[in-house]
Amino acid sequence: MAAGSGPAIDWLVSFQPGAAGVRPLPRAPQIGRNRPRPGPTVSLTAAVAGLVGSSPGRPLDPGRYRVVLELFPGPHPLALSPLDQAVVVEVLLDGYVLGYGTATFEDIALGPITVDFAVPTDLEQVALTIGVELRLISRGSVSGELGAILIQRVASSSEEAGPMVELSEWLAAMGTGEAGHRAGTEVNSIPGRPGVVLQGPHWRLRPGTYEVRLRARPIDLPLAPAESSPVATLEAVAGDRQLGHAVLSSAALSGDVVSFRFEIGSDREGTDDRVNLTLVTNSRVAFAVEALSVERLSPGEVSGAGDDPPRHGKAG
């Protein structure tokens, strides 16, 4: 651990199971009780994908922290690759993501899951009142038990934490729909099946101008550059507001980056609108999403937008 680290605190006792998790009852009644009580662990339900559980908001001072999840996995599902994503860990503060990490089936077999995050100085009051939340999400077919959720401060100086820094890479944190499935670090559309390929991650964003960038490639048969039929639509929404969208064409699968910009106005800062991206396909063309990012632009990048080449999408 880094110099100035504090004691590790276990959040597992207060961890609240979701649809993909359960607190098992002990095999025999505990001493002094006529009925069994839930055990100090949470089991992952292999047949269910979704929220394993979450911690209630816990107050934390500004600083840098590390969370270590001790997960004891069950048997590896034979139908899935060891490199397929198994779980996602999110650390949130009032809907803003402070940090997140993912683990493959191979990762959870090798040892604990570690995620570093920072509580920013400009959200100190929120961190001390609403508190920091941790969420564990299963991609499905994951069995095992949580042994501990350890939170430790690794840098206590508030100056080291600084203001909030938004994370730009979103693909790993997003879920798949009925028309998509994960394959390693990518998400593939299912040939011939219309519907949602990707969706999520329902995170709040600070006021500003953002750029969404998606890169995809065809699966199996490369497309001729002359083709330009629509393959899928990528949309950003916050609450009931459409922020922007872009059309992924078959021509863009030749290596182009599909992008569009949207605004989070200062008048929305007090709201709990959480941004969700949805990629929907109605095409029989199979494609793999290689990268998807949402980046906050600097004032200079925004003012120079007029010099940019034409983009594939538009703001809502």
Percent above pLDDT 70 for the chain: 82
For residues 114 and 254, membership in a common domain is answered with no
Q: Work out whether strand 208-218 and strand 257-264 pair parallel, antiparallel, or are unpaired.
A: antiparallel
Q: Work out whether strand 257-264 and strand 85-93 pair parallel, antiparallel, or are unpaired.
A: unpaired
Domain end (from 161, 193, 226): 161
**Lowest-pLDDT choice from 3-7, 208-212, 250-254, 270-274:** 3-7
For residues 20 and 135, membership in a common domain is answered with yes
For residues 120 and 208, membership in a common domain is answered with no
pLDDT at 182 over 70: yes
In a domain, 242, yes or no: yes
- Model pTM score: 0.84
For residues 142 and 208, membership in a common domain is answered with no
Using one digit for the tens of pLDDT, what is the confidence trace for 279-293?
999 888 899 999 999
For residues 46 and 140, membership in a common domain is answered with yes
Number of domains in the chain: 2
CATH number at residue 81: 2.60.120.260
Residues 6+ apart with CB under 8 A from 43: 21, 22, 23, 24, 143, 144, 145, 146
In a domain, 299, yes or no: yes
Domain end (from 161, 193, 221): 161
In a domain, 2, yes or no: no
Using one digit for the tens of pLDDT, what is the confidence trace for 125-151?
999 999 999 999 999 999 999 999 999
Using one digit for the tens of pLDDT, what is the confidence trace for 234-273?
999 998 889 999 999 988 887 789 999 999 988 765 566 7
For residues 93 and 131, membership in a common domain is answered with yes
Per the structure, the complete domain to which residue 62 belongs is given by 9-161
